[in-house]
Amino acid sequence: MSKHPETASGTLLSISDVERVFGGERKLFGGQTPAVHAVQNISLDVRKGETLGVVGESGCGKSTLARLIVGLDSPTGGTIHFDGEDLSELAKTDRRTLARKVQYVFQDPVASLNPRKTIQTILEAPLKHLTKLNKEGRKKRLEELLGAVNLAPEFLERYPHEFSGGQAQRIGIARALAAGPELIVLDEPVSALDVSVQAQVLNLLDDLKNRFGLTYIFISHDLSVVESVSDHVAVMYFGRLAELGPARDIFAKPMHPYTDLLMRSAPAPGRHDLLAEDASAELPDPYNPPPGCAFSARCAYRTEKCLANRPSANETVGCNASHFAACYHPLASA
Amino acid sequence: MTDATMTAPAQAKKKPAGRPSTVALLFNNTLATVGLVIVALICLTALAAPFLPLPDPDVTAPANRLMPVFSDDHLLGTDHLGRDLLSRLIWGTRVSLAVGLSATVIAAFFGSLLGLVAGYAGGRVDTLIMRGIDMVMAFPYILLALAIVAVLGPGLLNALYAIALVNIPFFARNIRGITLGLSRREFVDAAKLAGKSPPQILFIEILPNVLPVIVITMSTTVGWMVLETAGLSFLGLGAQPPQADLGSMLGEGRKILFTAPHVSIIPGLMIFALVMSINLLGDGIRDILDPRLRAGSLSRPVARTKVIRDPKDIPPPSIEPGVLDIRDMRTEFQIGGSVYKAVGGVDLHLKKGECLGIIGESGSGKSVTAMSVMGLVPTPPGRIVGGAAYLNGEDLFGASDKRVRDLRGGSVAYVFQDPLSTLHPLFTVGDQLLEAIQAHQPLRGPKAKEKAIELLSLVRIPNAPERLAAYPHELSGGMRQRVCIAMALANDAKVLIADEPTTALDVTVQSQILTLMNGLRRERNAAILFITHDFGVVSAICDRVAVMYAGRIVETGTTAELMENPQHPYTAKLIDCVPVLGQPERRTDAIEGRPPVVNNLPDGCAFADRCPRVQAVCRTGQIDLEMANETRGVRCLFPMNMEPRDVKTS
């Protein structure tokens, strides 16, 4: 894993040692409010044109990571570089420049559209503020955008509540595309949609990626969706990376027991034997994190070492040199 | 949980003509209409004061002092200086209204501005503004107004400033709360990413969403402001003599209350009528602008869904014995002028210990089907218009309200999608479990507690005795759903209706819950009606499946049969578009188009527009669910992997 973004060729986004702590402020009369590490020691690179899938259960910090990448939030430690530039610095000084390069698609398509604005107003906002297009140019671009996401032009005059989830998500995607970004962060873009619509949106995203040469960071809790879209996958647990590597390797030979657990819990048509853990399997208390591996309480392979020490993100390297797992006792370690 | 009921009103908005307009809603509310009429009358009279043939309100005539009501030339009599009371009343009302309204507008403007800025900026700005507001609120309002008037000197205009200032906190606090909530919404983040600056976000994105609240607050405070104006004038700090104002008229009449009561009673009555009617109107406006009340009429939903069915046309129970037997059930929603047939004739039957899955896209009517069984569909706008549901042979739609109440949570229990909103946030898990038990069983004290602990252990919650004292927010999503299942099982339910119980949960927790439910139904021999949109979940738990589309069952069969050999093109498509782990290339084609809106279903097959095998004959007549055997059936003229039906082409 490269700590120097300049050296890696083709790297678009480079995250090194990023940390985001919530709370921990000084109180009026001394003392500190309790602190939670939402994201900790995350280092990863995203190459131009690839899709990085980020998987994890709710509360694992994947959405916090997404907000850091688009500059809606800034890290309390570590750096994020986009194309060699410090992204969090850019977010503070020149948000518009950043917004031209990095965009975001929200999980809840309807909630991400202002209920009192027409689709035209919503889609024109990024064109107005982020591009130098004049009125004519904006009109042309709007038509292009609607065409790109397969929506009829008459939808422009309507309000968000008149749309189904799938249509609203297309509008969300069109908005993200408007200013011609290089990187789009998709935060659970299909989890609020019906399966039938989910496939439509996934196909659309594939198509747009090829057409506009986009780079995606695709966040989801659904492994099968992530598998079908990703080139690389990052599995997160309790704010840290559990496993990182090429999608093919991770899904064929998961090294971290947590990845394996996720894969075996996923329901699939025709599958009857779901793996079920004990009810006592719970996430650790975020205010009082365990000293060792956060997953150890749920892990069948844990040893004294796991309880006492925390494995580093690249504790184990798989057969592919870019496949890492934060585990002392990886599965099928070859 | 009720995706169909949620989408029905949303779809209704496409036809504004079919929905009651704002004005119609206002006239629907009798009290508000009365208020509106009185306010309109008073305002018109006050506005017309210069044109009415009234004597000068300020001209004194000591000879005619204290004339009683209904005297010649003076309809309402005269005051202690012989001035015409009717004239003074109308001119006075004019002043009071003008002051009250302007004070409201000023307070609304500055209060909202402060609230918007404080709510959006947050942090130090918020603290600074809100502590300032708190200081204003800490004084009794009349004292503060007195202090302001004392500094500025008495006079109507100064009274106006004082009243406006005193009322700024009401607006500021209200608006700040709303803004705080709105500024954390996703569309605000989206506006940031679209390159909008904070003032643009605040005034272009947030303000339009706050505006209804400002109007509501204004409409409910105008009356109060008029009253405060009168109060200050009564104390001699507002309108100065000889100017007439309702408060000062009252103050002047007070001294002669016993000798000439009409001098004070008349302005008193006017204040009463004015404030009362403004408040009635304000409440009416609030009800209309409240989005929760906009969807339907203003009447309150009742405890049980209304059943309107032809007594001669009640289908008999099926021959096969079953715990729950639903026959030709039809549920509709009446919204505005259109009728949404959410459930259009559903037959289902559940045997003991069996798990039947209902699967379909959102809006297919699967949730409404589940809710209709125990009459949980809100009326209005919902109603059951036909069919029957038999629980062990007893017709649930014909049962008394009391009987249905006994059965709810007793023989038939529900588990909903979102356990956090199902559980009461202010009571402990133990309290809620005890309530569920004691609603149906005469258990008290330690016996009931024992039962609660037993239930929590049954759903495999570790440390059950300690967990009784936990509040819902202290538990994880999976644990909360376990508690909900425990509550559903509290009274040995025969039928468990689970409406997407695992959709909100993580995969690992989902598999735990599914395994738990599967084990429990085996142990307790309870039947489960499992509603989901996920074929993976169906495979994991259901014995049989019914696929719903546009309010009807389009295919049914045992899970294995239906998954291996889907006959309806819709089922096949639905299974095909599920991504499967280990087959990343599988996602090929989606179902194009959208399900039809159920207020305007086409003739023939509802799926025809999206179907790849559609033929002309599919769009005519009624297509029945044809059962090949006891469990297997399909509603299609040209089923897949089967001989087509004999279609009579006439």
- Which of these, B350, B314, B311, lies nearest to B329 by C-alpha position? B314
The residue whose two tokens read 């507008």 is: B105
Closest CA to B498 of B454, B534, B550: B534
Q: pLDDT class for B646, splitting at 50, 70, 90?
A: low
Same domain, B158 and B287: yes
Residue A231 has pLDDT above 50, yes or no: yes
Q: What's the pLDDT score for residue B284?
A: 84
Partners of residue B549 on adjacent β-strands: B552
- Does residue B137 register a pLDDT over 80? yes
pLDDT one-digit tens code per residue, B374-427: 888 887 788 888 888 898 888 888 888 888 888 888 889 999 888 888 899 899
Cβ separation B196–A129 shorter than 8 A: yes
Nearest-angstrom CA–CA distance, B193 and B205: 13
Averaged pLDDT, B236-254? 86
Number of domains making up chain B: 4
More confident residue, A177 or A3: A177
Q: Give a yes or no: residue B2 inside a domain.
A: no
Domain boundary among the residues B342, B365, B399 is at B399
What pLDDT, in 10s, does the model give residues A71-117? 998 899 999 999 888 988 888 888 899 999 999 999 888 889 998 88
B470 and B415 part of one domain: yes
B161, B148 Cβ separation under 8 angstroms: yes
Of B261, B294, B327, at which residue does a domain stop? B294
Q: Is the per-residue pLDDT at B336 higher than 60?
A: yes
Q: How far is CA B268 from CA A54, A289, B26, B93, B262, in A?
A: 70, 68, 28, 11, 9
B395 and B506 part of one domain: no
For residue B116, what is the domain's CATH number? 1.10.3720.10
Question: Of A32-41, A231-240, A274-283, B139-148, which range is least confident?
Answer: A274-283
pLDDT, tens digit, 9 for 90 and up, residues A322-334: 899 999 988 865 4
pLDDT surpasses 80 at B229: yes
pLDDT band (50, 70, 90) for residue A250: very high
pLDDT-derived band at B44 (thresholds 50, 70, 90) equals very high
Compute the mean pLDDT over every residue in chain A, rounded to the nearest whole number.
Answer: 86
Tokens 């004049």 correspond to A134
CB-based contact A130 B563, cutoff 8 Å: no
Q: What is the H or E stretch that residue B537 is in?
A: helix B535-541
Could you say which residues from 199 to 218 on chain A have a Cβ atom under 8 Å away from some Cβ of chain B?
Answer: 199-200, 202-203
pLDDT for A1 beyond 80? no
Q: Which two tokens stand for residue A208?
A: 């747009």
Find out whether B348 and B389 touch, Cβ atoms under 8 Å.
no
Cβ–Cβ under 8 Å, residues B541 and B518: yes
Give the rounded distance of the alpha carbon of A247 from its chain centre: 15
Please check whether residue B586 touches A, CB under 8 A.
Answer: yes
pLDDT of residue A3: 41
CA B580 to chain centre: 38
Q: CA-CA distance, A19 to A33, in Å (whole number)?
A: 18
- What is the end-to-end Cα distance of chain A in Å, rounded? 20
Q: Are residues B86 and B233 in the same domain?
A: yes
Vertex B271 angle, CA B267 and B274, to 5°: 130
- Contact between B28 and B297 (Cβ < 8 Å): yes
B581 CB neighbours in chain A (<8 A) are: 223-224, 227, 251, 263, 266, 268
- Residue B389, classed as helix, strand or coil, is strand
What is residue B601's predicted lDDT score, i.e. its pLDDT? 82
Q: Decide if B11 is inside a domain.
A: no
Pairwise pLDDT comparison (B15 vs B632), residue with the higher score: B632
- Per-residue pLDDT of B461-478, as tens digits, reads 888 888 888 898 888 888
Q: For position B228, what pLDDT does the model report?
A: 87
Are B277 and B307 found together in one domain?
no
Across the interface, which of A178, A202, A274 has its CB nearest the CB of B540? Answer: A274
Question: Would you state the pLDDT for residue B33?
Answer: 92
Residues sharing a CB contact under 8 Å with residue A9, sequence separation 6 or more, in sequence order: none
CATH of the domain at B448: 3.40.50.300
Q: Please indicate, yes or no, whether residues B462 and B610 belong to a single structural domain of this protein.
A: no
Q: Give me the mean pLDDT over the B561-573 stretch.
A: 90
Determine the Cα–Cα distance for residues B306 and B383; give it in Å rounded to an integer.
5
Q: Which residues 532-571 in chain B show a CB within 8 A of chain A?
A: 533-540, 563-564
Domain's final residue, options B542, B567, B585: B542
Cα separation of A219 and B212, whole Å? 36
Whether residue B526 lies inside any domain: the answer is: yes
Q: What is the C-alpha radius of gyration for chain B, rounded to an integer number of angstroms?
A: 33
Task: Search chain A and give the residue with CA nearest B516.
Answer: A276
Neighbour tally for B585: CB within 10 Å: 7
**Tokens standing for B641?**
């992997």
Q: Which of A103, A194, A261 sits opposite B508 (nearest CB)?
A: A261
Same domain flag for B101 and B226: yes
Residues B151 and B272 in one domain: yes
Residues from chain B that touch A57, judged by Cβ atoms under 8 A, are 506-509
**pLDDT recorded at residue A278:** 65
Is the bond leading into B566 cis (omega within 30 degrees of zero)? Answer: no
Higher pLDDT, A27 or A225: A225
Structure tokens at B9: 């009103």
Residue carrying the six token digits 């506005």: B47
> In the predicted model, is pLDDT for residue A217 greater than 70?
yes
Q: Note whether A37 contacts B: Cβ–Cβ < 8 A.
A: no
Is residue B10 one of the residues assigned to a domain?
Answer: no
Residue B611 and residue B508 share a domain: no
Of B185, B205, B580, nearest to A224 by CB-CB distance is B580
- Cα angle: B81, vertex B83, B89; to 5 degrees: 125
> Which amino acid, one-letter code, is at B231?
G
DSSP B101-152: HHHHHHHHHHHHHHHHHHHHH-HHHHHHHHHHHHHHHHS-HHHHHHHHHHHH
Whether B342 and B210 map to the same domain: the answer is no
Average pLDDT, chain B: 85
CA A122/CA A160 separation, integer angstroms: 10
SS3 assignment, position A85: strand
B650: tokens are: 């006439």
Name the amino acid, one letter, at A14.
Answer: S
pLDDT tier, B341 (very low <50, low <70, confident <90, very high otherwise): confident
Contact B194 A194 (CB under 8 A): no
Q: In this complex, which of A99, A200, A227 lies closest to B195 when CB atoms are compared?
A: A99
The whole-number pLDDT of residue A275 equals 67
CA distance B17 to B578: 39
Residue A6 CA, chain-centre distance (Å), reads 23
- B11-39 tens-digit pLDDT: 433 334 445 677 777 787 888 999 999 99
Count Cα neighbours of A285 within 13 Å in the Cβ-side half-sphere. 5
Q: What pLDDT sits at residue B426?
A: 92
Q: Tell me how many helices (H) and strands (E) chain B has.
A: 24, 13
Residue B569: inside a domain, yes or no?
A: yes
Is A237:A244 a contact under the CB 8 Å cutoff? no
Residue A81 neighbours by CB distance under 10 Å = 21
Helix residue ranges, H only, A15-134: 62-69, 87-93, 95-101, 119-130
Q: In whole angstroms, give the CA distance from residue B623 to residue A269.
A: 28
Cβ-defined contact of B190 to A103 (cutoff 8 Å)? no
**Can you give the pLDDT at residue A5?**
40
Instruction: Please check whether residue B189 lies inside any domain of the structure.
Output: yes
Q: Are B454 and B507 in the same domain? A: yes
Which letter does DSSP use for residue B204 in this model? I
Side chain identity, residue B418: D
- Number of residues assigned to chain A: 334
Smallest CA–CA distance from B576 into chain A, residue: A196
Give the pairing of strands B382-391 and B394-395: antiparallel
Q: Which of A274, A256, A129 is nearest to B205 (CA)?
A: A129
Mean pLDDT of B171-196: 91
A268 and B CB contact within 8 Å: yes
Name every chain B residue with its beta carbon within 8 A of the beta carbon of A130: 194-195
- The torsion angles phi and psi of B270, rounded to 5 degrees, stand at -60, -45
pLDDT score of B427? 92
Rg (CA), chain A: 21
Say what the pLDDT of residue A185 is.
95
User: Does the pLDDT of residue B77 top 90, yes or no?
Assistant: no
Q: Please enumerate in sequence order all residues whose Cβ is within 8 A of that of B519, keeping only pairs 6 or more positions apart, or say none.
A: none
Is residue B631 scored above 90 in pLDDT?
no
By mean pLDDT, which of A174-178, A281-285, B188-192, B263-267 is the weakest?
A: A281-285
pLDDT tens, residue by residue, B478-526: 888 889 988 988 888 889 999 988 887 888 888 888 888 888 888 888 9
Contacts of A164 in chain B (CB under 8 A): 594
Residue A277 in this model has a pLDDT that exceeds 70? no
Q: Which two tokens stand for residue A324?
A: 């890492």
DSSP 3-state percent helix, strand, coil across chain A (nearest 5): 35, 20, 45
Structure confidence at residue B318 (pLDDT): 79
Whether B58 maps to a domain, the answer reads no
Query: Using 50, 70 and 90 to split pLDDT, how confident is the model at A123?
Result: very high
Question: Does B136 fall in a domain?
Answer: yes
DSSP secondary structure code for residue A32 in this structure: B
The number of helix segments (H) and strand segments (E) in chain A equals 11, 12
Token match 């809603």: residue?
B25
Structure confidence by residue, pLDDT tens digits, A145-159 = 998 888 888 888 888
State the pairing for strand pair A35-47/A11-23.
Answer: antiparallel
Residues 6+ apart with CB under 8 A from B555: B546, B547, B562, B566, B567, B568, B570, B571, B633, B634, B635, B636
Tell whether the model's pLDDT for residue A129 goes beyond 50: yes
Task: Evaluate if residue A2 carries a pLDDT over 50.
Answer: no
Residues B330 and B247 in one domain: no
Tell me the residue range of the domain where B567 lies. Answer: 557-634
Q: What is the pLDDT of residues B537-548, one digit of tens each?
A: 898 899 999 999
B627 CB-near residues (< 8 Å, 6+ apart):
B633
Q: Which of B390, B398, B399 lies closest to B347, judged by CA?
A: B390
Confidence of residue B587 (pLDDT cuts 50, 70, 90): low
Residue indicated by tokens 């400033």: B161
Which pair of structure tokens corresponds to residue B339? 């009728």
